Amino acid sequence: MTTDSDIIRSSGESPQAFTQLYDKYARMVFRYAARRAGESAAEDVMAETFLVAFERRESFDHAWEDARPWLFGIATNLLRKHHRTEAKMLKVTAKASGRESYTDSTERIAEQLDAAAATSALAGALRKLSAADRECILLYAWAELSYEGIAAATKVPIGTVRSRLNRTRRILKEAAGPLMNNIEEAGHGRAQAIA
């Protein structure tokens, strides 16, 4: 099996091999960037991530077989120039009431409203986080990197990742916690009704 590390190695001799990495991960990088800063920024970030990665391929740490931490680290840096768009997106989410959503059951509507309120609170809290904390939690939740992966992506010790994630999860829980309980209760209620 060809690992990412193998692809990057072979691209030393034949640069075109690097496109395999692009084909494998471009959409993943786009999705992550789009969730943070919208589609238009994401198209740029996707393309630039691989240009930067290609130029820096000699710096890839071959102790890793998986190139995702490296690529998401580059994407994270590139996303910093879109911080205003990100802030604006979070602001919009924080203000959204969820009232535009509709379904066929009142119980479901109530639950959706609660979920929307909790998401709003969450967006508000995300917006207030330091850039480093926000990057950390989003690499975890949206890019699905491991603790080690985040440490490699952001070039900090794993202990720092751990403490950033702990702190950030606590902040997010405090912000959205009371509203999340409502969702949970609604869920229990329905389960009991079915039983």
User: Using the rule CB under 8 A, which residue among 64, 109, 167, 183 binds other proteins?
Assistant: 183
25 lies in the site for other proteins, by CB under 8 A: no
User: Using the rule CB under 8 A, which residue among 26, 64, 109, 162 binds other proteins?
Assistant: 26
98 lies in the site for other proteins, by CB under 8 A: no
Q: How far is the CB of 93 from other proteins (least distance, A)?
A: 7
Q: Which stretch binds other proteins (CB under 8 A): 61-69, 97-105, 115-123, 145-153?
A: 115-123
Taking a C-beta distance cutoff of 8 angstroms, is the pair 8, 50 a contact? no
Site for other proteins in 45-84 (CB under 8 A): 46-48, 50-52, 54-56, 74, 77-78, 80-81, 83-84
Q: DSSP label at 94?
A: H
Nearer to other proteins, 5 or 167 (CB): 167
Q: How far is the CB of 123 from other proteins (least distance, A)?
A: 7
- Using only C-alpha atoms, the chain has a radius of gyration, in whole angstroms, of 20
Alpha carbon distance 136, 133 (integer Å): 5
Q: How far is CA 154 from CA 70, 107, 135, in A?
A: 9, 43, 9
Closest CA to 127 of 163, 166, 95, 162: 95
User: Using the rule CB under 8 A, which residue among 62, 65, 87, 178 binds other proteins?
Assistant: 87
Category of 98 on φ-ψ map: left (φ > 0), alpha (ψ -120 to 50) or beta: left
* Buried residues in 142-151 as b, exposed as e (16+ CB within 10 A): ebebeeebbb
- Largest CA-CA distance found in the chain, in angstroms, rounded: 64
User: Using the rule CB under 8 A, which residue among 62, 101, 131, 178 binds other proteins?
Assistant: 131
Q: How far is CA 68 from CA 26, 43, 174, in A?
A: 11, 18, 31
Site for other proteins in 142-171 (CB under 8 A): 142, 156-157, 159-160, 163, 169, 171
Q: How far is the CB of 129 from other proteins (least distance, A)?
A: 7
Nearer to other proteins, 1 or 155 (CB): 155
User: Using the rule CB under 8 A, which residue among 12, 177, 178, 189 binds other proteins?
Assistant: 177
